[in-house]
Amino acid sequence: MKRLLLAAIFLIASLAAAPAGETPSELKPFVRGSWQEMLRSHKGRPTLVHFWGVTCGPCKVELPLLGQFMKDHSELDVVTISADLVPNLPAATRAMLEKAGLGAAENWIFSDGFVERLRFEIDPAWQGDIPRTLLIARDGTVTTIEGSAEIPDLEKWLVQQKVASK
Question: How do residues 79-124 score in pLDDT, each as one tens digit?
Answer: 999 998 766 688 999 999 999 999 999 999 999 888 899 999 999 9
CA 81 → CA 5, 94, 159, distances in Å? 24, 11, 24
What does the mean pLDDT of the chain come to? Answer: 85
> pLDDT tens across 7-22, in order?
444 444 443 444 433 3
Predicted pLDDT of residue 54? 92
CB-based burial label for 118 (10 Å; 0-12, 13-18, 19+): buried
Closest-CA residue to 27 (of 90, 85, 76):
90
Mean pLDDT of 119-133: 95
d(CA 32, CA 115): 10
**Percent of the chain at pLDDT exceeding 90:** 73
Predicted pLDDT of residue 19? 40
Mean pLDDT of 145-157: 96
> pLDDT tens across 41-94, in order?
999 999 999 999 999 999 999 999 999 999 999 999 999 999 987 666 889 999
d(CA 143, CA 22): 34
Could you give the angle at the alpha carbon of 23 between the alpha carbons of 107 and 93, nearest 5°? Answer: 40
Predicted pLDDT of residue 87? 64
CB-based burial label for 98 (10 Å; 0-12, 13-18, 19+): buried
Put simply, whether the predicted model's pTM sits higher than 0.85 gets the answer: no
Task: Identify which has the larger pLDDT, 147 or 114.
Answer: 147
Say if residues 59 and 53 touch (Cβ distance below 8 Å): yes
pLDDT at 6 over 80: no
Superfamily of domain 26-164 in CATH is: Glutaredoxin (3.40.30.10)
d(CA 114, CA 94): 22
